[in-house]
Amino acid sequence: MQEKSLWRATAPLLLDMPQLAGEHKVDVAVIGAGFTGLSAALHLAQKGISVAVLEANEIGHGGSGRNVGLVNAGLWLKPAEVIARTGEKTGERLIKFLGEAPAEVFNLVQKYDMECEAKTNGTLHCAPNVKGVKDLEDRLQQWQDQGAPVTLLDQSQTTDALGTDRYKAALLDKRAGTVQPLSYACGLARAAMSHGVKIYEKSAVLKAEQTTNGWSLQTEKGKVAAEKVICATNAYHEHAQANQPPAMSSLYYFQVATDPLSPNQLARILKGKQGCWDTNTILTSFRLNDEGRFVIGSIGNLDHMGGAFHINWARRTMAQLYPELKDKPFTHQWYGRIALTNDHIPRFANPMPGWAMVWGYNGRGIAPGTVFGKALAEFVQSNDADDVPLAQAKLKAEAFTKTQSFFIELGARGHHFINAR
């Protein structure tokens, strides 16, 4: 399915990356070439620290190459909920840290001249009903109290921005924007390599052993000795027998894309080119790419029998939003797995000496992955847990993760089945 991904079809991929072979020694080994691992590698290498990134598949194989591309500020939770769940000190720090995270992304994009369709014109969180408008009004108030540049568009401004009258209001967050996510991951990889980072693809870590000097990581054909390890495998953790996986539930999210829209259509549909999503529980996201293709998505796994319900729902929803796109065929379709934590707060763990991880971005990992990767880079140098603005978690601290994942997919299938008819 990933072969039919729009992002894979249009990213400046790094081809012919080597597989790890033989024995190597570095200061820090990073497991996983997504935003978290690549940002950690880049920030370590900027300080002259030697780094090897070991990736089981290829760069951006996980959530980083499959997502919607919304570079959002903060978490899904409202600021008051973040404070209620993490305490005032950590909460305030986390809100500021993640509020500034999109700027970190766009600064890196500019500094390393990354080709990733970056747009810094904000995102639109859209309300289809009165309940949604109330939710946005509450978010507006809470973010404005934090001094964030957010504004609420009324119905006519929303209709003008979106080119559809299906939404009653939209929250415009000017800190945010969009990227072509796989291109951004490739951009981070190129930037890290420019500072000497070695990235190995098809190099799954199969075994991890503690040594007197740190860690020894074994792959199919090679071995890396490192003083420290950053494990950035998140929802795509493989080979759990090698190192304990992060505890989480998973949620699947799919997207489909059309052929490019006509110039006339592009003059009306999403004319400000913002990425959008709505306040529904089974949400809809929609955006354009640089070629003018319309990309729409929602919760759901395209594998197995539920896939047809999800695609039919996407067709019908696109036609409801934009009747003129009713007969436009889908040219690309793909999906990915999102790591959810019970309280929707990401996790930071240092379960063994010299081994650090952050995971569980709950569907918001572009900007958070970038800045938590940087924070992990600082943590492995200083050993000061205060470098990561999260309390330390245990690896196994989530209950009912499989049941929760099952019911989320079942709920999305039911919703899309009913609403596709």
Q: CB of 265: closest distance to ligand FAD in angstroms?
A: 23
Q: CB of 261: closest distance to ligand FAD in angstroms?
A: 21
The 3-state DSSP class for residue 124 equals strand
Cβ-based nearer residue to ligand FAD, 152 or 235: 235
Chain CA centroid to CA 329, Å: 27
Write out the binding residues for ligand FAD, residues 306-345 only, by CB under 6 A.
336-338
The interface mask with ligand FAD, positions 197-236, x = CB under 6 A, is -------xx--------------------------xxxxx
Gap between the Cα atoms of 122 and 124, Å rounded = 7
- Segment interacting with ligand FAD (CB under 6 A) among 2-10, 82-90, 167-175, 364-372: 364-372
The interface mask with ligand FAD, positions 4-33, x = CB under 6 A, is ---------------------------xxx
Cβ-based nearer residue to ligand FAD, 234 or 265: 234
Q: CB of 375: closest distance to ligand FAD in angstroms?
A: 13
The interface mask with ligand FAD, positions 47-86, x = CB under 6 A, is -------xxxx---xxxx-xxxxx-x--------------
**In the complex, residue closest to ligand FAD by CB:** 365
Report the C-alpha dihedral over residues 357, 233, 39, 229, rounded to 10 degrees: 50
Cβ-based burial of 264 (10 A; exposed 0-12, middle 13-18, buried ≥19): exposed
What would the two tokens of residue 119 be?
A: 């747009």
Gap between the Cα atoms of 392 and 376, Å rounded = 12
- Segment interacting with ligand FAD (CB under 6 A) among 89-97, 147-155, 366-374, 378-386: 366-374
Nearest alpha carbon to residue 104 among 120, 117, 128:
120
Binding to ligand FAD by residue 35, rule CB under 6 A?
Answer: yes
Cα atoms found within 13 Å of the Cα of residue 394, Cβ hemisphere only: 4
User: CB of 265 within 8 A of CB of 258?
Assistant: no
Q: Which member of 239, 273, 316, 344 binds ligand FAD (CB under 6 A)?
A: 239
Binding to ligand FAD by residue 97, rule CB under 6 A?
Answer: no
Q: CB of 36: closest distance to ligand FAD in angstroms?
A: 4
HEC string of 165-234 equals CCCCEEEEECCCEECCHHHHHHHHHHHHHHCCCEEECCCCCCEEEEECCEEEEECCCEEEEEEEEEECCH
Gap between the Cα atoms of 218 and 293, Å rounded = 42
Cβ-based nearer residue to ligand FAD, 322 or 361: 361
336 contacts: CB under 8 Å, gap ≥ 6: 62, 63, 65, 66, 67, 235, 252, 253
- The strand pairing partners of 257, in sequence order, are 295, 332
HEC string of 235-285 equals HHCCCCCCCCCCCCEEEEEEEEEEEECCHHHHHHCCCCCCEEEECCCCCEE
Binding to ligand FAD by residue 287, rule CB under 6 A?
Answer: no
Residues 83, 396, 203: CA angle, nearest 5 degrees:
110
Cβ-based nearer residue to ligand FAD, 54 or 265: 54
Write out the binding residues for ligand FAD, residues 123-152 only, by CB under 6 A.
none
Q: CB of 370: closest distance to ligand FAD in angstroms?
A: 9
248 contacts: CB under 8 Å, gap ≥ 6: 235, 339, 340, 341, 347, 359, 360, 398, 401
Cβ-based nearer residue to ligand FAD, 293 or 337: 337
* Cα-Cα end-to-end distance for the chain: 25
Applying CB under 6 A, the site for ligand FAD has a residue count of 43
Cβ-based nearer residue to ligand FAD, 42 or 265: 42
Binding to ligand FAD by residue 365, rule CB under 6 A?
Answer: yes
Q: Which member of 8, 34, 136, 340 binds ligand FAD (CB under 6 A)?
A: 34
Q: CB of 39: closest distance to ligand FAD in angstroms?
A: 8
Write out the binding residues for ligand FAD, residues 244-283 only, by CB under 6 A.
253
Binding to ligand FAD by residue 364, rule CB under 6 A?
Answer: yes
Question: How many CB atoms are located within 10 Å of the residue 64 CB?
Answer: 29
Residues that bind ligand FAD (CB under 6 A): 31-37, 54-57, 61-64, 66-70, 72, 204-205, 232-239, 242, 253, 336-338, 361, 363-367, 369
